[in-house]
């Protein structure tokens, strides 16, 4: 079967926005990952993975991710605020250049040119437009550079703010798949959103 011909995989190359740098993780990010989001049960409440019990879990996850950066079709970015923006919080994480979350491809179909995006962000950075800014940059990269034809994501209906992020980035609600996903809450419904390359090109 022929793979979609227009894909130009880049791997997780750095992407810069007004307030953020999306970059590959390095192993030295393990403590920040653990502290800033991965150990927080509120962050993982609607996700499939358990909060990290200690920094060794974060370290092991990063070892796996970093090893996969050799694959040009592997996309997993650290979300790092620029130090000279209004995102520098009291704990100084942004000023130190630490990651405060992650965004990447959790599934990909190279035959149809479709990628499914997942993300997580430290609780203290919610409601600052950070994830919308990161997702918009990733959408642009996948359409304009990689050549994807469809980008999708989903969220638990009890996590409506994630849907707000998707809509803000121009994604269209396609429907709710009943009892179609699982998370730390058990078997749950899944609200699906997508945006097509033709729609993206039409709005820019």
What span, in angstroms and rounded, lies between the C-alpha atoms of 94 and 100? 8
Which residues on adjacent β-strands are paired with residue 117? 105
The whole-number pLDDT of residue 131 equals 98
Which residues on adjacent β-strands are paired with residue 103? 77, 119
pTM exceeds 0.85, yes or no: yes
The whole-number pLDDT of residue 3 equals 60
Residue pair 165/132 in contact by the 8 Å Cβ criterion: yes
Classify residue 143 as exposed, middle or buried by CB count within 10 Å of its CB (0-12, 13-18, 19+).
buried
What span, in angstroms and rounded, lies between the C-alpha atoms of 32 and 38? 9
The whole-number pLDDT of residue 59 equals 98
Q: How far is CA 74 from CA 22, 104, 112, in A?
A: 14, 8, 17
The whole-number pLDDT of residue 203 equals 79
In order of their start, the domains of the chain are 15-153 (3.40.630.30)
Which residues on adjacent β-strands are paired with residue 196? 150
Q: DSSP letters of 116-164?
A: EEEEEE-GGGTTSSHHHHHHHHHHHIIIIII--SEEEEEE-TT-HHHHH
Tell me the Cα Rg of the chain.
16
The whole-number pLDDT of residue 5 equals 65
The whole-number pLDDT of residue 84 equals 79
Q: How far is CA 82 from CA 38, 61, 90, 94, in A?
A: 21, 24, 15, 7
The whole-number pLDDT of residue 91 equals 58
**Half-sphere exposure of residue 151, counting CA atoms within 13 Å on the CB side?**
27
* Beta-carbon contacts of residue 144 (< 8 Å; ≥ 6 apart): none
pLDDT in tens, the chain (204 residues): 556 667 999 999 999 999 999 999 999 999 999 999 999 999 999 999 999 999 999 999 999 999 999 999 999 999 999 987 776 555 566 667 899 999 999 999 999 999 999 999 999 999 999 999 999 999 999 999 999 999 999 999 999 999 999 999 999 999 999 999 999 999 999 999 999 999 999 875
Q: How far is CA 143 from CA 9, 58, 150, 198, 204, in A?
A: 11, 30, 8, 9, 12
């Amino acid at each position: 079967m022929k793979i979609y011909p227009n894909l130009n995989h880049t791997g997780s190359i750095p992407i810069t926005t007004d307030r953020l740098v999306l970059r590959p993780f390095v192993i030295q990010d393990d403590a920040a990952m653990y502290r800033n989001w991965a150990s927080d049960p509120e962050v993982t409440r609607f996700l499939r993975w358990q909060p990290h019990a200690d920094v060794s879990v974060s370290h092991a996850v990063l070892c796996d991710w970093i090893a996969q950066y050799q694959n040009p079709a592997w996309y997993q970015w650290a979300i790092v605020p620029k130090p000279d923006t209004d995102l520098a919080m009291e704990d100084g994480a942004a000023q130190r250049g630490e990651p405060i979350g992650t965004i990447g491809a959790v599934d990909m179909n190279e035959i149809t040119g479709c990628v499914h995006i997942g993300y997580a962000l430290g609780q203290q950075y919610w409601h600052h437009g950070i994830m919308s800014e990161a997702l918009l940059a990733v959408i642009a990269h996948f359409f304009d550079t990689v050549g994807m034809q469809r980008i999708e994501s989903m969220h638990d209906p009890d996590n409506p703010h994630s849907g707000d992020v998707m809509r803000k980035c121009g994604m269209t609600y396609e429907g709710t798949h009943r009892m179609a996903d699982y998370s730390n809450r058990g078997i749950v419904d899944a609200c699906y959103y997508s945006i097509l390359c033709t729609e993206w090109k039409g709005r820019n």
